[in-house]
């Protein structure tokens, strides 16, 4: 009996040891550590670290749907003609226009011993009503890189916008901005940002007239880029700035020559009314070149003065009004003005943001001009405007 008990006990002990060893042999794989997306607040809201790197990325943009129209008298007799629409630039009968736009921006940034290294790409597609239904073409609207104050690539001219520009950018308070000469360029620029809000930019640019090679009908020094200079100061009360642009050539056959333009501007922020400000900008150009204030008839003005006021009534409701006068309209691509030529432009805007990142915008503009050009008399005024719904993200 004792022997039997010993045998049974030995067998149970062997089974226990075997089971323990089998249990010890089971190995459960531990989950790989997850790398969650980290917020990058160095460059403002919306940036996050690309996993595995120290590069911050922001993906943003908007979608808009817009309806607009224009109304003016058609050319029906000698001595009457049209003034092109400010918002649409069309020439013809009164009509309605609809458009939809999609824009996506990719903005990458990282710190280096040379300053912030940045890469920026903008994709954009526009769908315009042209009488038939079709898909809009999507393309790269802008692409540039920056290292500290250096900028290179394709983007807005420094005449329009530059690094550290602050209030020294675009035209009036509306999306359309009245007539300030918006343009995008291939460029190489450098910006110095000093203390007390001071900034200065020097930019070498290719304009839209022939690039670096002589296009048919264009004359001048093809190897010389356009040159744009900007200086200004931004402070809490607003800012002041001055810009100058040299156009290495303008079209004009026997009248071929280079040209230049300049602008000075002021923005005053109204105390006690956040978002409310007054802007005044003056323009002068020695010819119809890339840096002249663009007037009606596809011309440019010898001089122009723009004034605009925006008032922020509530955090969600704002409105603005503006007026611009043009004196001495140049013949296209020349340095000679049309006799007794002048023009003026008025605008109004209402902006409502009922919820965050959703905007309702209405803009209206009226343009009128007088010029003695190839026997034409006073130009008929043009009304144009649009209502737009925009979702930002």
How many alpha carbons fall within 13 Å on the CB side of residue 99? Answer: 16
β-pairing, 257-269 vs 198-206, is unpaired
Domain that holds residue 56: 38-392
pLDDT given at position 238: 97
β-pairing, 198-206 vs 226-235, is antiparallel
pLDDT given at position 103: 97
Residue 229 to residue 191: CA distance in whole angstroms: 10
Residue 90 to residue 6: CA distance in whole angstroms: 108
pLDDT in tens, 192-213: 998 899 999 999 998 765 444 3
Give the range among 31-40, 85-94, 286-295, 338-347 with minimum mean pLDDT: 85-94
Can you tell me which residue has the tokens 């917020």? Answer: 39
* 13 within domain boundaries: no
pLDDT at 379 over 80: no
The answer to whether the beta carbons of residues 269 and 300 sit under 8 Å apart is no
pLDDT in tens, 143-189: 999 999 999 999 999 999 999 999 999 999 999 899 999 999 999 99
Radius of gyration of the chain (CA): 31
* 20 within domain boundaries: no
**Residue 290 token pair:** 């890339």
* 123 within domain boundaries: yes
CB neighbour list of residue 310: distance below 8 Å, 6 or more residues apart: 173, 275, 276, 277, 318, 319, 320, 349
pLDDT given at position 333: 77
β-pairing, 95-112 vs 115-128, is antiparallel
* 279 within domain boundaries: yes
* 50 within domain boundaries: yes
Give the domain CATH number at 178: 2.40.160.10
Structural domain total, the chain: 1
* 313 within domain boundaries: yes
pLDDT at 256 over 50: yes
Can you tell me which residue has the tokens 């912030």? Answer: 116
Sign of the dihedral through C-alpha 287, 288, 291, 295: positive
pLDDT given at position 296: 73
Residue 11 to residue 7: CA distance in whole angstroms: 6
pLDDT given at position 384: 87
* 8 within domain boundaries: no
Residue 120 to residue 107: CA distance in whole angstroms: 5
**Tally of CB atoms within 10 A around 179:** 24
The answer to whether the beta carbons of residues 56 and 37 sit under 8 Å apart is no
pLDDT in tens, 42-69: 999 999 999 989 999 999 999 999 998 8
Mean pLDDT score, 364-377:
69
Residue 35 to residue 52: CA distance in whole angstroms: 8
* 30 within domain boundaries: no
């Amino acid at each position: 009996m004792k022997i039997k008990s010993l045998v049974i006990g030995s067998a149970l002990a062997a089974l226990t040891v075997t089971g323990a060893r089998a249990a010890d042999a089971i190995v459960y794989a531990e989950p790989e550590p997850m790398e969650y997306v980290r917020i990058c607040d160095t460059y403002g809201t919306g940036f996050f670290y690309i996993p595995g790197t120290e590069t911050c990325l922001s993906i943003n943009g908007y979608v808009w749907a817009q309806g607009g129209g224009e109304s003016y008298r058609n050319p029906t007799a000698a001595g009457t003609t049209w003034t092109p629409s400010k918002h649409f630039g069309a020439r013809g009968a009164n009509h309605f226009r609809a458009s939809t736009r999609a824009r996506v921006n990719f903005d990458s940034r990282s710190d280096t011993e040379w300053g912030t290294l940045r890469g920026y790409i903008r994709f954009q597609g526009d769908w315009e009503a042209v009488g038939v239904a079709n898909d809009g073409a999507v393309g790269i609207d802008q692409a540039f890189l920056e290292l500290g104050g250096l900028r290179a690539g394709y983007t807005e001219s420094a005449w329009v916008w530059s690094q550290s520009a602050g209030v020294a950018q675009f035209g009036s308070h509306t999306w359309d901005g009245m007539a300030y000469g918006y343009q995008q360029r291939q460029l190489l620029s450098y910006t110095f940002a000093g203390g007390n809000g001071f900034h200065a930019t020097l930019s070498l640019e290719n304009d839209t007239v022939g690039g670096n090679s002589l296009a048919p009908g264009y004359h001048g020094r093809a190897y010389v880029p356009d040159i744009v200079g900007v200086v200004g100061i931004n402070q809490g009360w607003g800012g002041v700035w001055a810009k100058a642009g040299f156009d290495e050539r303008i079209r004009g056959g026997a009248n071929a020559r280079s040209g230049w333009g300049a602008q000075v501007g002021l923005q005053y922020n109204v105390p006690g009314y956040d978002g409310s400000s007054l802007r005044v900008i003056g323009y002068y150009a020695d010819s119809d070149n890339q840096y002249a204030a663009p007037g009606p008839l596809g011309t440019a003005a010898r001089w122009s003065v723009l004034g605009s006021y925006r008032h922020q009534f509530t955090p969600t409701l704002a409105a603005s009004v503006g007026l611009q006068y043009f004196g001495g309209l140049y013949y296209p691509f020349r340095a000679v003005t049309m006799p007794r030529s002048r023009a003026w432009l008025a605008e109004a805007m209402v902006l409502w943001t009922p919820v965050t990142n959703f905007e309702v915008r209405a803009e209206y503009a009226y343009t009128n001009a007088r010029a003695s050009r190839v026997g034409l008399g006073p130009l008929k005024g043009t009304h144009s405007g649009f209502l737009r719904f925009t979702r930002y993200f």
